[in-house]
Structure 1
């Protein structure tokens, strides 16, 4: 919560006197604005408690035009973020209601530990049960994470050296690997820490090395999808599925790369991972199409810029990653970008109004632009990394 500093307090002859305010008018306006935003955020957080519990209706996004919440089942790649948001709200507020509700939503995700048809086990299971373990001790959560890691490991191809991403479009993509998949490695790294079985760690590090070798361009931007030949292990093609074209720089893809390689460095101390995280960060922060307020357009190469949609989710993934990157490098430019973005987001332009009953916080994210899906609206993972940014910033302070 925002702490209001009392700038003047006069003490005369041992008696406490009321002082005339010596704050400037601008300072007073700033404090009023901060109080208003803090109050608005508290109201947004309350909406998470009001959302009804339903094992088939994980909130994914909100359509501001139709006032409809897009709801998905636990098999959707985004299902873990809502429980993760509740756990993070518990950490931020200390209110048991958030913890109790998070535990109920976690229970709906548990069956995903058997789902071998997805690479997104980390997003779903570690984003929910992993966040839970930051707040409570529960050996059942550890076992769920270990079983999930075992299931995810079945998607690893030794010849390619990567975990397979999607299973659809098999007629076109023999073995696709997306940059997003870097974030699922955290589940594997943690599984080794929990079990002592080094195979999970080795698998994750191999995947990261393969991605490092093949996913990045000379300017350190990343392709979205790399398709491999399973017989030779060679790259067949480099394409996009969510960017504007195969050679464009899809904003959230760049964010996944920064976050993923920063996280991989945490577990491996591999300097090449750290170097790539910094190099892609440099690409983003110095890009001529990065807006002054720090919130990227959904794709850095959209020809409609500056009229293209923004993607708040890309911004919050980056801010969370850069706080970890700052801890390693102590480079002030990373903190400056985080502060810029957070100042931008903590405004009525980006926070949903108090009247909206949906369990979301931020507006202006872009999900899948080529499919005209979830454009310029609230999306659950934007909130997840926003809350993670708040917690990581609090930890630094």
Structure 2
């Protein structure tokens, strides 16, 4: 009888110890790491992953990373594709983080791969191409050798401004039935940073006038009453009026394509930074309110590819839209009132935690050495769906650096 009691006591003690240590282990898992730890760890990961990417293309001098195919193989582009400036820009941010001369070498090497795009006049993406690369290069090194490309790119972008429509033309043609006479997309707001910066640097007020006029016209025509944005507005070149309002890369013309909302949020935050115009601040806050209060924004704050996609939640999320939103919200938090600021930063912190988790961030050396996964390029065209995207990586690293600077760690 005593033996049985001892045996029972033994197993009881083992059971209690298992429960105690098991609960303690689970408790550790549920405790959130400090956001500073997550930011620094994600920057270190991004540094190592991007160095692997740089090495992988070192012997292909005309190519830059774009995305992957459905099998996870790297897809590249040449300098003329609109995303060409993002990988060089990512490297510059990582040089800023690390002060690593090897990273600076790679950043300069890949920046020079897009140098020829300073003379691009057939689309609006010269801002993405040149300012993300050469702009960051000059910001960090103050080497005036980078300035010529920035100045020329500003001149190139300015050639696409039309005094009748009061906008910068995005593409030269297109549309479902080739019916876009003068298409202007919400993405174009991002390229105004190039013009506003150049207006100050080169004492060129015409650049500022073009950017302000474009932003004002976009504010008038691109937004619905709920502050969501159309993707494309096609203008009548005779009257200057908005003739067609569509959402080419979203679910339908009246839906809120997630990355489009992110471009608008970021774009008007940029415009407020340069002008301190209350109208631009109010629009950025309005867009933020639409995004943050939308019932279809998930708890992890990574939006579905379109806020009005019919099969939510059984559809794709877009890490690229989240990264852009995150970078914009961090900056916008420094301009707005205290209540908004707290809300924006809380959302940005959630996005950083989500994007830094294994659910959205790749493992070292995986997925062709991109930082993030689960981006959506153009779902209606079945193009770049649920894949890594170079611009998702760029704005993620930018968001990390902005948060790190803001908090001073």
Confirm or deny a common fold (TM above 0.5). Answer: yes
Count of residue correspondences: 373
State the Cα distance separating 1:40 from its structure 2 match. 4.9
Structure 1 distance, partners of 2:221, 2:33, is 50
Q: Deviation per CA, 1:271-296: give whole Å up to 9, x if none.
A: 11110111011011010111111000
State the Cα distance separating 1:49 from its structure 2 match. 3.6
Q: How does 1:49-64 map to 2 (within 5 A)?
A: 49-53=54-58, 54-63=60-69
Q: Secondary structure at the match of 1:336?
A: helix
Structure 2 distance, partners of 1:42, 1:240, is 36
Q: 1:354 aligns with which of 339, 364, 384?
A: 364
C-alpha contact (below 8 Å) 1:47/1:360 kept by paired residues? no
State the Cα distance separating 1:135 from its structure 2 match. 1.3
Q: Residue 266 in 1 paired to residue 276 in 2?
A: no
Q: 1:334 aligns with which of 328, 331, 344?
A: 344
Structure 1 distance, partners of 2:232, 2:267, is 15
Q: Deviation per CA, 1:40-92: give whole Å up to 9, x if none.
A: 555424423422222332101123x4121111110100000010011111111
C-alpha contact (below 8 Å) 1:142/1:194 kept by paired residues? no
Structure 2 distance, partners of 1:215, 1:237, is 10
Pair 267,37 (structure 1): closer, same or farther in 2 beyond 3 Å: closer
User: 1:81 matched to which residue of 2?
Assistant: 86
C-alpha contact (below 8 Å) 1:352/1:361 kept by paired residues? yes
Q: 1:153 aligns with which of 144, 148, 158?
A: 158
Q: Residue 102 in 1 paired to residue 107 in 2?
A: yes
C-alpha contact (below 8 Å) 1:174/1:230 kept by paired residues? yes
User: 1:15 matched to which residue of 2?
Assistant: none
Q: Secondary structure at the match of 2:102?
A: helix
User: 2:138 matched to which residue of 1?
Assistant: 133
Structure 1 residue runs without a partner (length 5+): 1-23
C-alpha contact (below 8 Å) 1:228/1:234 kept by paired residues? yes
State the Cα distance separating 1:240 from its structure 2 match. 1.5
C-alpha contact (below 8 Å) 1:59/1:359 kept by paired residues? no
Structure 2 distance, partners of 1:241, 1:191, is 31
User: 1:242 matched to which residue of 2?
Assistant: 249
Q: Secondary structure at the match of 1:238?
A: strand
User: 1:287 matched to which residue of 2?
Assistant: 294
Q: Secondary structure at the match of 1:253?
A: helix
Q: How does 1:31-46 map to 2 (within 5 A)?
A: 40-41=45-46, 43-46=48-51
Aligned-residue RMSD, C-alpha: 2.0
Q: Which has the higher helix share?
A: 2
Structure 2 residue runs without a partner (length 5+): 1-23
Structure 1 distance, partners of 2:48, 2:108, is 22
User: 2:75 matched to which residue of 1?
Assistant: 70
State the Cα distance separating 1:258 from its structure 2 match. 0.3
Pair 334,57 (structure 1): closer, same or farther in 2 beyond 3 Å: same
State the Cα distance separating 1:351 from its structure 2 match. 1.1
Q: Which has the larger radius of gyration?
A: 2
Q: 1:92 aligns with which of 97, 103, 122?
A: 97
Q: How does 1:183-332 map to 2 (within 5 A)?
A: 183-329=190-336, 330=338, 331-332=341-342
- After alignment, is 344-353 or 376-385 more displaced? 344-353
Pair 81,42 (structure 1): closer, same or farther in 2 beyond 3 Å: closer
Q: Deviation per CA, 1:164-211: give whole Å up to 9, x if none.
A: 001132841111100000000011111111110100001000000000
Question: TM-score, with normalisation over the residues of structure 2?
Answer: 0.87
C-alpha contact (below 8 Å) 1:55/1:73 kept by paired residues? no
Structure 2 distance, partners of 1:131, 1:354, is 25
Pair 137,308 (structure 1): closer, same or farther in 2 beyond 3 Å: same
C-alpha contact (below 8 Å) 1:37/1:348 kept by paired residues? no
State the Cα distance separating 1:357 from its structure 2 match. 6.1
Question: TM-score, with normalisation over the residues of structure 1?
Answer: 0.90
- After alignment, is 334-343 or 350-359 more displaced? 350-359
Structure 2 distance, partners of 1:354, 1:101, is 19
Structure 1 distance, partners of 2:33, 2:52, is 23
C-alpha contact (below 8 Å) 1:296/1:310 kept by paired residues? yes
